[in-house]
A and B are shown apart, each in its own frame.
Chain A
Amino acid sequence: MPRKKIKIKSTIEYLSILDGKGKVDESLDPKLDSELLLHIYRLMLIARRLDERCINMQRQGRIGTYGPCRGQEAAHCAATVVMEPEDWVVHAFREPGSFYHRGWPLETVLKFWGGYEEGCEPPEGVNDTPIAVPITSQVPHAMGIAWAMKCKGENHAVLCYCGDGGTSEGDFHEAMNFAGVYKLPLVTLIQNNQWAISIPRERQTASETIAQKAIAYGFEGIQVDGNDPLSVYVATKEAVDKAKAGGGPTLIEAITYRLGVHTTADDPKKYRSDKEVAKWEKLDPIPRFQKYLVDRKMLDKASIEDIEKGVLVEVAAAVERYEACRDVDPLDCFDYMFADMPQELVEQRSEFAACLEREGIGLGH
């Protein structure tokens, strides 16, 4: 009965390919083809411009509370592009670029934050879960989907988004633990944006990194520069390939920063300094990626402007489509409660219909 050291695997990797100044580590550059790189760039720009538009629309009362993704475009856009249509993406709530890439109409995000359930309806053929508001409770679903893939012997994988604050929830531990035990094809990407509303990352966990939590669950963790789309892409691609080859789950910690508010309902000045924000503004993922693409002659001044214009047109069109769909029938809140509506609800629905008629409330209330 000795008292001795137990050796455990105690290192995780950190990956940074494209630094804040747009300088690339040539030895690590995945040298992706220009079509994919420009797609990621455009996706990040869509997320940025939609985000800006949403904040304005919230201020104008055209949508409700909005949770922006400014600063986190690389962390989510460069990961979702790895996934095949048969794979699943399980979202949190700060990934508008992912929804768009996966085939959700751009106005879906507006609909959700605008107060319409229609913003949660995945288009036919899209295997994703909608925005999940309760923190981390979507992670067990991602684990369950990966579990079902394994039960059915299907060679797909799941990408799941979660935040740094979310790793404090019991659901994170439970889902990671199950994923490790059953060696599930699950890639969990933590967008460590440093703040969970007003609580800094240091107050969420005493762990030096979030990625190292994977070690205790028996699988690999990796920390990447989450503002570097190349690192996010490479880490996600390697993790997904490993998952599909039967190698089990991976935890990716993408170090990023929420440049904006948590939601339009809070004021970050109350809990963090302008100096800190200014530091991270310099690490913005979009300018560095633009520089990388310009250096590689995939972009020039004219094409940058073209893409910018195209993105603005697309965002404006999405806003128009959103505004055109705002007349909804309040009565249909009954219609999807059950696949097989109980008699009790049929009766309550009739009662509600009579109320609406009496009160003169209908479409466009």
Chain B
Amino acid sequence: MSIIPATRQPESNTKSYPPSGSFDTVADGQDGGTSSMTMLTMVAALNRALDDALKNDDSVVLLGQDIGVDEGVFRVTADLLARYGDKRVIDTPLAEGAIIGGAIGMALYGLKPVAEMQFSGFAYQAFHQVEQHMSRFHNRTRGRYGMSMVIRMPYGGGIRAVEHHSESREAYYAHTPGLLTVIPSTPRNARALLLESIRHPDPVIFYEPKQLYRAFKEQVPDELEYMPLGKAQVVREGSDLTIISYGAMMRPAIEAAQDIAELDGASIEVIDLLTVSPLDTETIIESVEKTGRVVVVHEGPRTCGIGSEVVARIVERSLEYLEAPIRRITGYDVQFPYFARERAFLPNAERIAHGVREVLAFE
């Protein structure tokens, strides 16, 4: 089992996760490479990644609204202004377009900006900068200018937030050529993926599942740790059906897999995509050709969602291995409801398990 709410079995959570070999660990010298670990929430793990990046690379700067004195509305940037000063942890005026446009200018000049959008629902005010420039500079200058920068933004439902604070629109970014779109699912992979995103030469959208910010803790190594972008992880092995998901939906997906295993005796494999663009087709195909049955789960709207692309690739590559039609358990093609309706709306373990059982039952 990989991801379990802290309220259930926090200790056992750490024994089998993550699968060995997924992380590239680098001793940072201060602890001499010892493998000491600390239990962290995702917020604390992201904070640690930003701290690591600021400490180890002078060209890294953070910028965003309320990230300095206020330490970020979710406290992801806690203590960083005090530690690194206001030339590297920069509180900005309230203008998403200028934060991203300015960060693009900084990247052109050789800095590595890590910009925070307070909520993904407000990143559309900067979307023109992402589409027209951040995603294009490297290509249109024939590689002359790199665009090594990261935009972090919290996405998704589940925290009873006001309108415009709960959407999942990763597909917009995945549909934009020239970007990588990364979505972590645990404290440990959040830290390792963010560190990799910051050192990556290409622009990264780092979409943070805010529902998981403080949902559970996980052992995170004190030494530096990186995870490659564009690689999915098989977080639970199985032989009868594959659930493919990412971000905040990993928890109900794994819970559903466990319930089915216990109650129905079926063996469910679970894949965490981690990077939704570019997709790790190989890991998906390998699993599907083993199990022959697939359920894809995400919060975002169904039409042209990440699930659409996953299904298309499976059909293109492995149609003859499929033993049942693929099911998508996703957000519907409606506006994300205000929070009175959000618990009902969000895909949950029961809904996922129902879909899994239907696919398993198909003959």
Contacts and interface: CB of A to CB of B under 8 A. Distances in A.
A121 B278 CA distance: 26
B311 interface: no
A61 interface: no
Given A140-B102, A174-B97, A345-B278, A339 B138 contact: yes
Given A336-B142, A344-B279, A143 B105 contact: yes
A178 interface: yes
A277 interface: no
Size bracket, chain B contacts: 35 or more
Interface of A: 88, 117-118, 120-122, 124, 129-130, 134, 137-149, 151-152, 170-171, 174-175, 177-178, 181, 335-340, 342-345
B138 A177 contact: no
A120 B137 CA distance: 9
A117 B128 contact: no
A134 B132 contact: yes
Contacts of B132: 134, 137
Contacts of A345: 278
A174 B109 contact: no
Contact of A148 (B100, B110, B140): B110
Given A178-B92, A340-B202, 16 more contacts: A124-B144, A140-B101, A140-B105, A144-B106, A145-B105, A145-B109, A148-B106, A148-B108, A151-B88, A151-B106, A171-B97, A336-B141, A337-B139, A339-B138, A339-B143, A339-B146
* 5 A-B pairs with least C-beta separation: A144-B105, A140-B101, A174-B98, A339-B201, A148-B109
A365 to B, nearest CB: 19
A177 B279 CA distance: 39
A141 B97 contact: no
B114 to A, nearest CB: 13
Contacts of A335: 143
Contacts of A342: 180, 230, 278
A178 B133 contact: no
B93 interface: yes
B178 interface: yes
A263 B95 CA distance: 32
25 contacts: A88-B109, A117-B139, A120-B141, A130-B140, A143-B101, A144-B107, A145-B108, A147-B102, A148-B108, A148-B111, A151-B88, A171-B97, A171-B101, A174-B97, A174-B98, A175-B101, A178-B102, A338-B178, A339-B138, A339-B202, A343-B230, A343-B281, A343-B282, A344-B279, A345-B278
Nearest to A342: B278
A152 B138 CA distance: 23
Nearest to B98: A174
A177 B103 CA distance: 15
B177 interface: yes
B142 A117 contact: yes
A137 B104 CA distance: 11
Interface of B: 61, 87-88, 92-93, 95, 97-98, 100-111, 125, 128-129, 132-133, 138-146, 148, 177-178, 180, 200-202, 230, 278-279, 281-282
Contacts of A122: 141, 144-145
Given A336-B138, A337-B138, A129 B97 contact: no
Contacts of B141: 120-122, 130, 336
Given A141-B133, A336-B143, A338-B202, A177 B98 contact: yes
Nearest to B135: A337
Contact of A340 (B104, B106, B144, B200): B200
A289 to B, nearest CB: 33
B109 A144 contact: yes
A175 B105 CA distance: 11
Contacts of B144: 121-122, 124
Nearest to B279: A344
A143 B98 CA distance: 8
Nearest to B101: A140
A130 B141 CA distance: 8
A181 B92 CA distance: 9
Instruction: Tell me which of B61, B102, B132, B180 has the highest count of chain A C-beta atoms within 10 A of its own C-beta.
Output: B102
Nearest to A154: B109
Contacts of A343: 230, 278, 281-282
Contacts of B180: 342
B221 to A, nearest CB: 25
Contacts of A170: 97, 125
A171 B99 CA distance: 11
A140 B129 contact: yes
B133 A171 contact: no
A140 B97 contact: yes
A63 B129 CA distance: 28
A135 to B, nearest CB: 10
A120 B145 CA distance: 11
B142 A121 contact: yes
A49 B43 CA distance: 59
A344 B146 CA distance: 20
A53 to B, nearest CB: 24
A330 to B, nearest CB: 14
A170 B125 CA distance: 10
Nearest to A90: B105
Contacts of B202: 338-340
Contacts of B87: 151
A144 B126 CA distance: 14
Nearest to A121: B142
A171 B146 CA distance: 22
Given A122-B144, A338-B202, A339-B146, A147 B178 contact: no
B177 A178 contact: no
Contacts of B128: 134, 137, 171
Given A338-B138, A338-B178, A339-B138, A146 B93 contact: no
B98 A140 contact: yes
Contacts of A178: 92-93, 95, 98, 102
B64 to A, nearest CB: 13
A129 B230 contact: no
A339 B149 CA distance: 12
Contacts of A175: 98, 101-102
Contact of B61 (A120, A151, A340): A151
A339 B107 CA distance: 14
Nearest to A122: B144
A92 to B, nearest CB: 13
Contacts of B200: 340
Nearest to B202: A338
Nearest to A119: B140
